[in-house]
Structures are given as C-alpha cells and as structure tokens.
Amino acid sequence: MVAPWQRRLKKKFKKSASGSKPERYSEKKSITKCPITGKKLSGVPNTTKAGLSKKSKTEKRPSVPFGGVLSGKARQEVFIELGKVVAGIKEINDVDFKYRGYVKQVLNRAKQN
C-alpha cells in the first residue's frame, strides 16, 4: 500500500529486474511567463510551494508595479498607454486590448488614492 503522503505525488514507471515499479516524485513549479510577450519573468523563483514560503517577500517577486506579472517591455508599454489616456490623447476603449485591463487597474488604483 502507498503511504498517504505519497498519493499526491506524480509517478513514472521504472524498469527493474523484478518488473516495472513506480517511482514517485513531486513536480516543480513551472516557469512564470509574461502573458503579453510570453518571455520568462526575471526575478521570480522557480521552486515548489514549500521552497517559496521560506523566501522573503522581496525574493518572491520584484517590487515594481506589475512585478512578477509583466515583463519589463510590457510594463513599459502599459505605462505609455496609461499616459496617453491620462493626457486625453486616447480613450480607454482605443487602447490595444492586450494592455487595456492593466491600464484600467492602474487607473482604479490612482482613483482610490
């Protein structure tokens, strides 16, 4: 019988002399990617939940707006679009769809403060 703590682990079968036996392993967290550009996010660790909980807040994600969510170029584009909306050059509905949600988030934060 499998130990209860092993039931949640993934398994792959390994060949042995006496037959095929399951080898259990825990899966590593996938690499975080930017939803706009698809690039790997720098400054975000790629560890298990237990490893992540042992790190401090500044080690878990960068302390910039949208840190750990957007890449540098995407974040720059969001703030350029935000500037155009605030200046009155563009309406919020004219902003490219992939940036619109993030621009709305920043506008809502600015209204609250």
Question: Residue 104's pLDDT band (boundaries 50, 70, 90)?
Answer: very high
DSSP H helical segments within 1-113, as ranges?
49-53, 57-60, 72-87, 97-112
What pLDDT digit, counting tens, does each position of 50-88 carry?
Answer: 888 899 988 888 889 999 999 999 999 999 999 999 999
pLDDT of residue 40: 93
Q: How far is the C-alpha of 33 from the C-alpha of 61, rounded, in Å?
A: 13
